[in-house]
Amino acid sequence: MKNKFFFFTFIFSLTLFAQKIPNGFVYVSDIDATIQSELRYLNASNFIGKTIDGYDDSCVIVTKETADALHKVQTILAKKGLSLKIFDAYRPQQAVNHFVKWAKVLNDTLMKHEYYPQVPKSELFKRGFIAEKSGHTRGSTVDLTIVDIKTGKELDMGSIYDFFGIESHPLYKNINERQKKNRLYLRKIMLDNNFNPYDNEWWHFTLRNEPFPETYFNFPVKK
């Protein structure tokens, strides 16, 4: 009886401290647990080289409509032995603020060689790589790629995620035919399932008719 009491007390404590996300948002894993993720802003594998403010747990949060559309894409991919892999989805405003603050410190170039070798850090704002507002903060934008389920490897898209340069443009021509084919396949399957692409990033898609087109949220990425 004593052990049972402690068990229920533990469960209650977890529930008490669990985050209640706003109405209209869901955890992607609750809609489709097969969708893979690797939140780059939760660790140092990003263009800053540090964990980004507002990323507390490894969980993907989006609007319910976005999750449903992603589930449709995943169902199609699964039949071909493929899976979506999400790098970023809902992004709190505090994370965007972190990007802006970092961009103004011109001597912090820890990850320049990997993510922006040809772009002076002083021009990140001018060239549109960093901005004070992000569609991600509205909850219906996702950064993602496709993974081969059997090998666990990402399809070769011709550039790394979050690379600042023309090489990341979806229709960039100076890559091989396989890389072009992979980019076009990702683009087509997302377009066919109610997402709009972004001209500068092959990985970036926003749900058409997103439910919060003018609202920028700031709750943390947390379970």
201 part of the active site? yes
Exposed / middle / buried, residue 200 (Cβ in 10 Å: 0-12, 13-18, 19+): middle
Collapsed DSSP state (helix, strand, coil) of residue 179: helix
C-alpha 173/C-alpha 169 separation (Å) is 9
Find the catalytic residue in 38, 65, 201, 210: 201
CA of 203: how far to CAs of 11, 85, 123, 142, in Å?
Answer: 38, 10, 22, 8
Q: What is the enclosing helix (H) or strand (E) of 8?
A: helix 2-17
Instruction: Give the residue numbers marked as catalytic.
Output: 201
